[in-house]
Structure 1
Amino acid sequence: MKKLNVKLIQEGLKLTVINLVLLFVFLELGSLAFYLIINKQFFYTREKSENYQDLGINLEGVRVGGESIVERLHPFFGFVQKPGPDFRPGFKYNNYGFITPYDYPFEKTNDNQVIVGVFGGSVASNYSIYEVKNKLLEKILQQVPQYKNKEIIILSFAIGGYKQPQQLLILNYMLARGQKFDLIINIDGFNEVALSNLNNQRQLDFAMPSPAHIEPLTGLANNSLSDKALRTLLEIKENKEQLSDNLETLQDCKLASCNAIMSVYVQTLVKNYRENLQRFERYRNKPLDEDQESVIFFYNQDEVLPDAVFFEQVADYWAKTSILMHQVAAANNIPYFHFFQPNQYWKTNRKFSEAEKKIAFIESSPYKKGVKFGYPLLIKQIDELKANNINIFNALNIFDDVAEPVYGDNCCHYNARGEEIFSTYIGSSIVETLTDKSFEAKTQN
C-alpha cells in the first residue's frame, strides 16, 4: 500500500512538473510573439537599453524616484521643478528646474551654435524635448542662409502650468543673469485661459500662478494640508519607490515572459500613481482656518468675476505680456516668435476618430470652459499683436487635415505625430518670416 501511495505521489509530482514546464513554454512562446508584434524585434536578440522610455511604458508626467511632490516654490517664478534626474536619456531637471540637457546660463562652445529659448507651459516643454531629440527645427532652418550648417541649441524655460506673466518674468530674469539668445519662441494661450479660469473660481488674481500648481506647495508651507491629502502624498511616494524598483527589474528581464508580466505590473503602478495624483488634487484644497495666517502672499479679488468681464481681462493681459516680451527681445536684437497653441476643446473642421475621442475628450474636463470663453477673445487679440509687429502665428487649425490621432491625453498635449506636425509648423513659420523681405526691412530699421 505504501509503495502504491509513493508511486501515486511520484506520478502526481511528475505530472505537475510536466504541466508547469508546458505552461512556462506556452507562456514564453506567447510572450515572444507578443513582444515581436509590439516591438518589431525578437526579444532575445533585442538591443538592451538603459533608457526607461524604450521599455514601452508611458512614463510621461512621472518622475521616477522617491519624490512625492517635484515642484518647489520659487521666489521669482512662482514654482519650479526640483533639480534632479529625468527618465529620458540626456535630459535632467537642471539647476533652474527646467527639463533640458543643459545647466543655465548656457554659454556657446563654438560660434556655429544658435541658441533658441522656448517659453510657455507643458506644451512648450514637450516641444523642447521633441526638438532636442529630433532636431526638426535645425533641419528646417537650414533653408535660411544665415543658419546653413548651424547647430541649433534648444533651451527650455517652460514648465507645466506656467502662464503669463511667468514667461515674461523668466525671460527678463535670464537675460539679467547673462543668458544669450539668438531666437525666442513663446508657445501659449491655453494655460492663460484654462488655468486662469481656476484662479477666478478661487478668487485669486488671474496674474497669480496657477492654483492647481501653487496651492499644494503653499499648503505644505502653511502646514494646512488635510489628513487625506497628506496620506495621499505618502501613497504617491510609495508608488514612485515601487515604480523605480520594478522598472529596474523589467529592464533586467532575461525571459520574454518576465518582460510581459513585469510590463503589466509596471503599467498598473503607473496607473495607481496617476490616480493618486488626481486624488491629491481633490483633497488639497482645504482652506486655511480663519485664525491661521498664511506665510504666502497672493493678490486676491473680492468676488468671482463674470465670465464676460474676466476673460476680456485675461485676453488683454495676454496681448500686453506678448508685446512686452517682443519689446524686451527687440531691445536685445533677438527675433521673437509667438505661437497660439491648438487644443481639442476648440472646435475646428477636424474630424476625430472614435478611438481618438476616447483619448482626447472628457466630459468633466476643468479646461473646457476656459477654452470656450477665452479662445475667441485671444483670437481677436491676434490682429492687435500683428499691428504691434509681433510675429504671432495662429496654430489652431494645423491638425484639421490629419486623419490619424494627434492628441495624447484629454488636456492639451500631443502624441508623437502631433508633436511632429506642430514642430514642422513652428519651423516653417519661422523660416517663412525670416525670408520675408518686409521682416528683413523691419529688423534693419
Structure 2
Amino acid sequence: MKHKFNRKQIKEVGKITLINLLLLGFFVELGSLGFYLVRHNQLFYTRQRPSIEEMGLNLEGMRMEISIVERLHPYFGYAPKPGPDFRPGFKYNNYGFISPYNYPFVKTNENQFIVGVFGGSVASNYSIYEIQNGILETKLREVPGLENKELIILSFATGGYKQPQQLLILNYLLSVGQVFDMVINIDGFNELALSSVNNEQKLELTMPSASHIQPLTNLGNQSLSTKALESLLKIKQAKPRINQVVSNLKNCRMASCYTINNLAIQGLIKDYYQEVARFQRYQQIPDDDGGEGSVFLFYTQESVLPEEKALAKITDTWVRTSTVMNHILSAKNIPYFHILQPNQYHATNRVFSSEEKAIAFSENTPYRQPIVAGYPLLLNRIADLEAAGVTIFNGVNIFDAAPEIMYIDNCCHYTPAGEHILSSYVAESIKNILNQRLNPPNLNLANEPLTD
C-alpha cells in the first residue's frame, strides 16, 4: 500500500513539475518574442533573418577559419591574410582588404567611377556598408556629370591602420596602376589611440600599431612569453565556440533559442576581446639586448614621451600626411575628402542612455585618455588642413541627435544605425562640395580638375 502511495505521489509531483516547466517555457518564449520585437522591430516567426551586423555582433577581424589573421607586409606594416569573409559577396582579397574585388581593379567600362576608401576599421566598415546600401552612389547621381555613373567602392582600410599607413598605401597602389576617380580618408581615432599605445611601448609614433605588429614580430622572433602563448591558445580555442553559437543563432526556430544564444555569444565575444587585450599586454618587444637580436627593424624611442609632446607629434603627422595625400591626388585631378570620425570618448552634445553607456564606455581602456586629450587638438588643426587645400569634414557631432544606440563596443565601432548616419553624412557632404565646385555645370569630374 505504501509503495502504491509513493508512486502516485511521484506521479503527481511529475505532473506539477511538467506543467511548471511548460509554463516557464511559454513565458520565456513570450518574453523572448518581446525582446526580439524591441531589438529588430519585427516578429520573430515572420522575420527576415538579420545579418551578423544587424544582430549587433562585433566580429571585426575575427576570422574563424585561421588562428593568426594578419601577416607582416613589406610595405603596409601588416595585412590580413587573403581568404573568405563571413559577409556574403565579400572576401579578404589578394591584398588582404575586405572587398568583392582583387586589386588593382581595372575598369570594365568607362561608366565606372572608382572611389578608394582609406583608414582603419571604421573606414573598412564604411566601405562594406556603402557597397551594400549605395548611399554615396545615390547622392552622387544628383551631381551633374555623375547621373549615370556606376560607383565602384574599393577599400584600402584595415583594422588598426593609422597615418602614415594611408599615405604609404595610396602611393603603393598608384605605383602598381590603381586608378581612382575619388578618394575618401576616414580617420582620427586610430592616430590618437594606437599611436599613444606605441608611445607606451617606446615604439616610434609613426610606426604601425604596436598592438598589431608586436605579436607578429614576436612570433617571428620566437620571443613570446609563456603567458602570451597561453593567451594565444585561448584565443584560438575561443573561435570554434563562437562559430558554433553563431551557427545556432542563425538556425534558431524559436525566439527563446535566439535569446539564449544571443546572450551566450555576447559573453563569448566579450571574453574573446578581453583575451586579445590580455595577449597584447603579455607580448613585449625583447629588451634584453635593445632589440639587436630581432630580425625585424622598427624605429624605437629612448623613453616614453610626455602626453602633451606625444599628442602634438601625432597631430602634426595627421595634418602632414593628409596634406601630402591631397597634393598627390590633386596633381592627378582626383578629388580627396578627409573625414574626422566620431568617437564616444570625445564629449559632444550626445546624451547616452544607460544601455548605450554599458556598451560604449570602459574605464579600463587605454584609448579613453588619448581621445579626451587628443580630439581637441585635431579639431584645432582643421583650419590648417583647410588652408593647405584639404577638404575635411568634421563628423564628431553627427550622432548627437540620434535616439538609437550608435556604438557596438567600447572602442569606436558603430551599429547599423550609426553606419547609416555616417554614410549619409559623408555622401551629403561630398555631394554639396562637388556641386559648389562645378563650373561649368556639366563638368566630367572623373577627367577634369576640380577648383574651389
Do the aligned residues in 1 keep the contact of 2:333 with 2:450 (CA within 8 Å)? no
Q: Aligned residue for 1:250? A: 249
Task: Compare 77-86 and 260-269 and name the one that shifted more.
Answer: 260-269
Q: Aligned residue for 2:284? A: 285
Letter in structure 2 aligned against 1:409 = D
**SS at 1:294 equivalent:** coil
Letter in structure 1 aligned against 2:163 = Q
Residue 305 (structure 2) pairs with residue 305 (structure 1): yes
Question: How many aligned residue pairs are there?
Answer: 443
Do the aligned residues in 2 keep the contact of 1:224 with 1:288 (CA within 8 Å)? no
1:11 CA drift (Å): 6.1
1:439 CA drift (Å): 7.9
Q: Aligned residue for 1:179? A: 178
1:189-213 alpha-carbon deviations (Å, 9 max, x no partner): 2222222122222222111111111
Cα separation, 1, equivalents of 2:28 and 2:403:
37
Do the aligned residues in 2 keep the contact of 1:212 with 1:281 (CA within 8 Å)? yes
1:365-386 alpha-carbon deviations (Å, 9 max, x no partner): 3223323443343334322322
Task: Compare 429-438 and 141-150 and name the one that shifted more.
Answer: 429-438
Residue 332 (structure 2) pairs with residue 332 (structure 1): yes
Pair 1:269–1:378, CA change in 2 (3 A): closer
Cα separation, 1, equivalents of 2:136 and 2:392:
17
1:197-239 alpha-carbon deviations (Å, 9 max, x no partner): 2222222211111111111111111111111111111111111
Q: Aligned residue for 1:385? A: 385
Letter in structure 2 aligned against 1:201 = E
- TM-score under structure 2 normalisation? 0.87
Mapping 1:325-364, distance limit 5 Å: 325-364=325-364
Do the aligned residues in 1 keep the contact of 2:120 with 2:158 (CA within 8 Å)? yes
Letter in structure 1 aligned against 2:151 = I
Cα separation, 2, equivalents of 1:253 and 1:401:
35
1:139-189 alpha-carbon deviations (Å, 9 max, x no partner): 111210111132222111111111111001111111122211110001122
Letter in structure 2 aligned against 1:289 = D
Do the aligned residues in 2 keep the contact of 1:226 with 1:286 (CA within 8 Å)? no
**SS at 1:217 equivalent:** helix
Do the aligned residues in 2 keep the contact of 1:225 with 1:286 (CA within 8 Å)? no
Cα separation, 1, equivalents of 2:147 and 2:63:
39
Residue 240 (structure 2) pairs with residue 241 (structure 1): yes
Pair 1:21–1:115, CA change in 2 (3 A): same
Letter in structure 1 aligned against 2:239 = K
Task: Compare 184-193 and 383-392 and name the one that shifted more.
Answer: 383-392
**SS at 1:443 equivalent:** coil
Q: Aligned residue for 1:220? A: 219
Cα separation, 2, equivalents of 1:19 and 1:350:
46
1:274 CA drift (Å): 2.1
Pair 1:102–1:18, CA change in 2 (3 A): same
1:248-271 alpha-carbon deviations (Å, 9 max, x no partner): 233333444433333333333223
Mapping 1:32-43, distance limit 5 Å: 32=33, 34-43=35-44
1:83-113 alpha-carbon deviations (Å, 9 max, x no partner): 2222222222222111222221222233322
1:124 CA drift (Å): 1.2
Task: Compare 281-290 and 209-218 and name the one that shifted more.
Answer: 281-290
Cα separation, 1, equivalents of 2:158 and 2:219:
20
Do the aligned residues in 1 keep the contact of 2:63 with 2:69 (CA within 8 Å)? no
1:288 CA drift (Å): 4.4
1:353 CA drift (Å): 4.1
Mapping 1:312-327, distance limit 5 Å: 312-327=312-327
Q: Aligned residue for 1:420? A: 420
Cα separation, 2, equivalents of 1:443 and 1:99:
30
**SS at 1:90 equivalent:** coil
Cα separation, 2, equivalents of 1:41 and 1:298:
52
Cα separation, 1, equivalents of 2:37 and 2:369:
44
Letter in structure 2 aligned against 1:85 = P
Cα separation, 2, equivalents of 1:46 and 1:354:
28
Pair 1:32–1:410, CA change in 2 (3 A): closer
Pair 1:375–1:37, CA change in 2 (3 A): closer
**SS at 1:435 equivalent:** helix
Task: Compare 87-96 and 411-420 and name the one that shifted more.
Answer: 411-420
Q: Aligned residue for 1:201? A: 200
Cα separation, 1, equivalents of 2:268 and 2:242:
6
**SS at 1:67 equivalent:** coil
**SS at 2:393 equivalent:** strand
Task: Compare 35-44 and 315-324 and name the one that shifted more.
Answer: 35-44
Letter in structure 2 aligned against 1:293 = G
Cα separation, 2, equivalents of 1:93 and 1:424:
26
Mapping 1:12-411, distance limit 5 Å: 24-25=25-26, 27-32=28-33, 34-47=35-48, 51-53=51-53, 56=55, 58-61=57-60, 63-285=62-284, 287-290=286-289, 293-402=293-402, 404-411=404-411
1:305 CA drift (Å): 2.7
RMSD of aligned residue pairs (Cα, Å)? 2.9
1:49-93 alpha-carbon deviations (Å, 9 max, x no partner): 7x4446x35133252514333122111100111222222222222
Cα separation, 2, equivalents of 1:78 and 1:136:
32
1:372-430 alpha-carbon deviations (Å, 9 max, x no partner): 44334333432232222222222233344445543333322333333222222211221
Do the aligned residues in 2 keep the contact of 1:407 with 1:415 (CA within 8 Å)? yes
Cα separation, 1, equivalents of 2:356 and 2:18:
46
Cα separation, 2, equivalents of 1:420 and 1:426:
10
Pair 1:146–1:356, CA change in 2 (3 A): same
- TM-score under structure 1 normalisation? 0.88
**SS at 2:300 equivalent:** coil
Task: Compare 174-183 and 192-201 and name the one that shifted more.
Answer: 192-201
Cα separation, 2, equivalents of 1:76 and 1:321:
16
Cα separation, 2, equivalents of 1:420 and 1:48:
19
Letter in structure 2 aligned against 1:428 = E
Do the aligned residues in 1 keep the contact of 2:167 with 2:321 (CA within 8 Å)? yes
Letter in structure 2 aligned against 1:266 = I
1:115 CA drift (Å): 0.9
